[in-house]
Amino acid sequence: MAGYGTLVWVGQALGPLTDAITADLIRVTEQLIPVTDLAFDLAELRAASIAENVALVQYVLANNIDPATVSPPAGAAAYAQRLARRGVPLTVLLRAYGLGQYRLLDAAIGIVLAVHGPDQAARIAELLKFAGTYLDRLNSSMGRIYETERDRWLSSRQAAQQQWIAQLLDSDDVDLPAAEAALDYRLDRHHLGAEIWTTTPEPAGTDTVRVLDQTRRLLAAETAADGPELVGTTGDRTLRIWFPVSADRPCDTDRIASRLHTAGLPARIALGPVGAGLPGFRRTARCAARAKTLATAAGAEAPAVLDFDAVAPFALLADEPGELAALAGRALGPLAADTPKAALLRHTLEVFLAEGSSYSRTARVLDVHRNTVQYRIQQLTGRYGIAVDADTFELRFALGICRWYGHTRTI
């Protein structure tokens, strides 16, 4: 055991002073770390924690107890756990302990200085060593208590949140006021649902969390959300989010994609349509999930930001891969094959039809010579038997199927 026996008399002398030290420390702590920064209902718990800690230091000194073996008092542990559940930073707690040590050490040194003798410097050095050991032990213990409670609380809170979200999405009998209170999110407004996921191959970890969080904040700014968003997780690499937005708030997907690229964020975003109330809350989430499925099926060819409304016909048929393959094969024949050459010709045909069968405009969009476009169209009509003058819905739809499902379908 560490030898602090020469300090026993200091601890005994501190005994009659503990009430005054405690009252002064509570007053100073309230001034430097206002209770309004925490919560008013924590004031009593904090005062009790301060009183217990002051009494413990005095007892440890007066009874020559090794400070490296001391455990925090129950009230102090309860206070740390309450702070963790409130989301108050650990630094607030540790700062208070540093302030408490300063006040106690000041009082103890005053006691030593009041007794004249040749060993004053040695006693003060012992006090400093004792205080350092005690504070290190206390900070370490309180840090573990805080972090354990924070992790437990976050885990249970996230689980409860996910349960409420699941009920809102799937149950016909859900207590809406209770759900709103638990999620801190109002349902009587317009919602924009989004799916955010990372594209990095590395195992999920701190960098994945950073990417998802930065992408979430970027999207919140771009949607001009009317309040805090509701965040749910659907996997280690995915977030499902609802943003409270105005009914007519458009999303500029090109701008969002540009900001993602500029920020260097390896993430993708799928957006649902804006919807009102609980029905809109459900629909925008379902549509965002379908848009994500479509983007995943398209692979690297999919845009970084995909709006469900722009691809609804294809996203709605994600559950029918066999029917999609049959339709594409029927309309395109061998041109539906998943090969680079077929893909090049299909893209040319898509642009050609979109530009009103104009060779010059198609060449301009594709950034190729007009003769190149003519050659490709000749291949389409001659080798593949595609009637480019028959601009039918089925032909356009089949081209879209190949574009979005080219990596997953079987023709």
- Render pLDDT for 204-254 as a digit per residue (tens, 0 to 9): 555 888 888 899 999 988 888 888 899 887 666 888 999 999 876 667 888
- Residue 409 pLDDT level (bands cut at 50, 70, 90): very low
What are the sequence ranges of the domains in the chain? 5-154, 187-315, 321-405
If you average pLDDT over residues 351-376, what whole number do you get? 89
- Render pLDDT for 5-26 as a digit per residue (tens, 0 to 9): 788 888 898 889 989 988 988 8
Rounded to whole angstroms, the Cα distance separating 94 from 89 reads 9
Q: Which amino acid is at 18?
A: T
pLDDT for res 391: 60
User: Which of 37-46, 175-184, 191-200, 380-389 has the weakest average pLDDT?
Assistant: 37-46
* Inter-CA distances, 158 with 151, 165, 168, Å: 10, 10, 15
Q: Which tokens sit at 162?
A: 């996910």
Share of the chain above pLDDT 90, in %: 15
Rounded to whole angstroms, the Cα distance separating 381 from 357 reads 13
Taking a C-beta distance cutoff of 8 angstroms, is the pair 99, 32 a contact? yes
pLDDT for res 134: 86
pLDDT for res 201: 64
Taking a C-beta distance cutoff of 8 angstroms, is the pair 291, 272 a contact? yes
- Residue 40 pLDDT level (bands cut at 50, 70, 90): low
pLDDT(35) > 70: no
- Residue 161 pLDDT level (bands cut at 50, 70, 90): confident
The number of beta carbons lying within 10 Å of the beta carbon of residue 69 is 10
Q: Can you spell out the DSSP letters for 312-379?
A: HHHHTTTT-HHHHHHHHHHHHGGGGSSSHHHHHHHHHHHHHHHTTT-HHHHHHHHTS-HHHHHHHHHH
Query: Would you call 244 helix, strand, or coil by DSSP?
Result: strand
Q: What mean pLDDT, rounded, does the chain reach? A: 83
C-alpha count within 13 angstroms, C-beta hemisphere, residue 347: 16
pLDDT for res 410: 45
In terms of CATH, what superfamily is 187-315?
A: Reverse transcriptase/Diguanylate cyclase domain (3.30.70.270)
Rounded to whole angstroms, the Cα distance separating 94 from 101 reads 11
Taking a C-beta distance cutoff of 8 angstroms, is the pair 253, 309 a contact? no
- Render pLDDT for 265-307 as a digit per residue (tens, 0 to 9): 999 999 999 999 999 999 999 999 989 988 887 777 788 999 9
* Cα-Cα end-to-end distance for the chain: 78
Q: Is 217 exposed, middle or buried (0-12, 13-18, 19+ CB in 10 A)?
A: exposed
Q: Is 171 exposed, middle or buried (0-12, 13-18, 19+ CB in 10 A)?
A: exposed
